[in-house]
Amino acid sequence: MSEAKKYIMTYEGVKKLEEELEYLKTVKRKEITEKIKVALGYGDLSENSEYDEAKNEQAFTEGRILQLENMLKNAVVVDESEISTDTVSIGTTVKVKDYEFDEEVEYTLVGSAEADPMNDKISNESPVGEALIGKKVGDVVEVNAPQGIIKLEILEIKRV
């Protein structure tokens, strides 16, 4: 059997997953159980869309619980005090100049489990993240992204 995938995460990312897991196990499970009870009261299950919907929600929630437990069990937490700001790595925030739009952008590099592109938290496995990892201030990288080649210059590297 192959070794389980390791999820590289920051301490903040682990806390966020633990909170979601706790919510799903305590609050969400109870809500779904109540929905199933109410739907069962409607009688015939063969035409009971409320029951089907509640069971689907239950299956999705249980799947997410298993996924979160697996991610937490296989999490490798990055010690933020040991992060070097000499090169870009997981747990660093990097300021880059985007030549296409002539603007400065900051990205925080995180593991894939806690990526949130809408909040500029990019995965080390994303095209931009992969291109930036290991680079230094002053380096210019070209990223082969879905929308074309992006040219970025690293201006600053700091800890999260």
Q: Can you give 89-128 as a three-state secondary structure string?
A: CCCEEEEEEECCCCEEEEEEEECHHHCEHHHCEEECCCHH
- Determine, yes or no, domain membership for 2: no
Do 41 and 85 share a domain, yes or no?
no
- Once rounded to an integer, what is the mean pLDDT over residues 56-73? 95
Beta bridge partners of 103: 98
User: For the domain that residue 101 is a member of, what is the CATH number?
Assistant: 3.10.50.30
Q: Taking a C-beta distance cutoff of 8 angstroms, is the pair 67, 5 a contact?
A: no
- Once rounded to an integer, what is the mean pLDDT over residues 152-160? 90
Task: Report the mean per-residue pLDDT for the chain.
Answer: 90
- pLDDT recorded at residue 2: 55
Do 89 and 132 share a domain, yes or no?
yes
- pLDDT recorded at residue 3: 67
Q: Which domain holds residue 86?
A: 81-159
- pLDDT recorded at residue 108: 92
Cβ of 101: how many Cβ atoms within 10 Å? 9
Do 85 and 155 share a domain, yes or no?
yes
- Determine, yes or no, domain membership for 40: yes
User: For the domain that residue 47 is a member of, what is the CATH number?
Assistant: 1.10.287.180
Which among 60, 77, 94 is the end of a domain?
77
- Once rounded to an integer, what is the mean pLDDT over residues 95-113? 91
Which among 77, 107, 128 is the end of a domain?
77
Do 69 and 90 share a domain, yes or no?
no
Check pLDDT > 50 for residue 12: yes
Do 154 and 87 share a domain, yes or no?
yes
Instruction: Give the pTM.
Output: 0.74
Do 122 and 153 share a domain, yes or no?
yes
Do 123 and 105 share a domain, yes or no?
yes
- Determine, yes or no, domain membership for 66: yes
- pLDDT recorded at residue 4: 73
Task: Give the count of domains, the chain.
Answer: 2
Do 88 and 36 share a domain, yes or no?
no
- Once rounded to an integer, what is the mean pLDDT over residues 73-77? 90
Tokens of 25: 């196990």
Do 72 and 135 share a domain, yes or no?
no
Check pLDDT > 50 for residue 1: no
Do 66 and 126 share a domain, yes or no?
no
32 pLDDT band, cuts 50/70/90, is: very high
Do 66 and 91 share a domain, yes or no?
no
- pLDDT recorded at residue 78: 86
